[in-house]
Structure 1
């Protein structure tokens, strides 16, 4: 009779089992690698896949430049953090964690530059009252104004504020009671 060593069930995921679990974020890459195939086979498979992808895009008449529309792009990064805002939305990454927000998933984007120091804070707010801040360390404080301008250009182009503009009612002249004509005798 054979016995298996170890558990055959998968570990459970979610906030109840992992306090660092946040929906929408990718899970960290584990340090363990499973090399079941020789390196030559993996390299050959990668080369084959890239050839097939290139042939398929040539047949469709697409090039890499066709996929990217002309428009402003904001990108800022330091040694740990990175933010990219373009036609697809806003992508944040910190160390090995990353999240992506499409423009329809964003309620607001807030920037904050400190009075002292070089950490520029960008916070993405979602309509369900969640926020995702990220701090980018700038090489100089002069970059803050440039980053603000670049992000404003992207927001003006792609972010649509869906709050309806209410028209202010025009004030009417106060009504006066009409005087009744006097009766003549």
Structure 2
């Protein structure tokens, strides 16, 4: 006969072994299981609280970043508008200067039909006009004007070589103001001298 060591039988539960046993009612939960469930409930509440706290903070941070991006975009737009306004102002200023220069040119030679002969010669830098008002010289941005009573003599010079025609205005106080006009052809020299002589004969009194 074999003898088994130990017992494989499970402890029996019931009224015969547990006086407090009532059929249909579960056995009491051990104390350590109650503690575990309580700890799990506390951890769940803490996790939910932390999540509720982190959500508004994240939303606030996103809102601050969006507001900063919007402010930077508005600053860039304002800067671009200011640069556009400055460019428009510079363009308007340049147009005003061009209109002023055109007005001066018209005033110099084109204000009405002049009475008597007129001499006028110009190149890309210099210009001379002689009419009944006197003699006007211009070189780049510099200009001067002489009435006939302010002129002591007018001298011309045509070089043997080259295409620069020189006109020099002398004043009674022994000052002189030369200006060189570059002709398109040397044949213009004779034409200019004839026109200037006609003006001097008509208006200049020695």
How does the TM-score come out when normalised to structure 1? 0.52
Higher helix share: 2
Q: Are residues 1:147 and 2:205 paired?
A: no
Q: Look up the match of 2:67.
A: none
Question: Cα RMSD over matched residues?
Answer: 2.3
Q: Look up the match of 1:119.
A: 164
Q: Look up the match of 2:182.
A: 137
Unaligned runs of 5+ in 2: 1-88, 100-110
Aligned residues: 103
**Equivalent residue of 1:121, what SS?**
strand
Report the CA distance between 1:69 and its aligned residue.
4.1
Q: Are residues 1:85 and 2:130 paired?
A: yes
Residues 52-96 of structure 1: per-residue CA shift (max 9 Å, x gap) = xxxxxxxxxxxx64xx54200000000000000001000000000
Q: Look up the match of 1:23.
A: none
Within 5 A, what are the aligned runs for 1:139-178? 139-161=184-206
Runs of 4+ in structure 1 over 3 Å off = none
How does the TM-score come out when normalised to structure 2? 0.47
Mapped to 1, the partners of 2:178 and 2:198 lie a distance apart of: 20
Residues 15-46 of structure 1: per-residue CA shift (max 9 Å, x gap) = xxxxxxxxxxxxxxxxxxxx6xxx6xxx9xx9
**Equivalent residue of 2:200, what SS?**
helix
**Equivalent residue of 1:150, what SS?**
helix
Larger Rg: 2
Return the structure number with greater relative CO, CA threshold 8 A, min gap 6. 1
